Amino acid sequence: MTQQERITLITGANKGIGLEVARQLGKAGHRVLLGARDAGRAQAAADRLRGEGVDARIVAIDLDNPASIAAAVADVERHEGRLDVLVNNAAIVDPADGPAGTADLAAVRRIFDTNFFGSIAVTQAFLPLLRKSDAGRIINVSSGLGSIALNADPKWEYAAVKLLGYNGSKAALNLFTVILAAELEGEGIRVHAVNPGYTATDLNGNSGHQTVAEGAQEIIRLARLDGGPTGTFTNKDGTDPW
């Protein structure tokens, strides 16, 4: 399948890394579907991309709303008929998140509902359309904070960042990646977890040291890849430990 034939849905695509992934894949020839729950921001993003020559359209989707996910699947089935690449990018943080002994349990649940359960719900709902592709691929946008091995290393540069909800949700997303990759390997659908790196986005108050272009780099590489392995956890510089 050529790049020009690929149809890619990106959740949380109205800003940050999601928007940059949409921009670069669109310029590579993908038809990009901007998954977003905020109609105003989504429209502004779509207008901006179209102004740059990108084939983009909005798909309204709220990861916390099953009816919204079902409507998004029906939308893509009606207009495109299949899906080649799903990028599970949408995620949240919560100021009440924190260390295991003090994190607000409601905040941890909210984070898991979007980052973990929401991504599972979207993936399961779109699997029938991914199965219609000759090059199906699922990319789960994770984090180095989701690596149990790195969290256990006191010398890791981000060892002090111990957020039960956020780190836990990304660790769970990594396990989902491994289990799903094994399940779908026989069908030729590849599944990946990606650590974008510490990127300046609204999620971290733009404190990250990377640009969104740098943060999007590995996601874009995988989305454009022909063939390759499955069940991977990578960043733009190589492989991350689970």
- Report, as residue numbers or ranges, the catalytic residues: 166, 170
Return d(Cα 70, Cα 93) in angstroms, integer: 25
Q: Taking the chain, what is the end-to-end CA distance rounded to the nearest angstrom?
A: 31
- Judge whether 71 and 94 are in contact, CB under 8 Å: no
CA distances to 34, 119, 194, 195 from 42, rounded to whole Å, are 7, 19, 24, 24
* Residue of 133, 129, 230, 143 lying closest to 195 (CA atoms): 143
Q: What is the DSSP string of 73-108?
A: HHHHHHHTS--SEEEE------TT---TTT--HHHH
CA distances to 34, 73, 135, 136 from 82, rounded to whole Å, are 15, 10, 11, 10
In the three-class reduction of DSSP (H, G, I as helix; E, B as strand; rest coil), residue 12 is classed as: coil
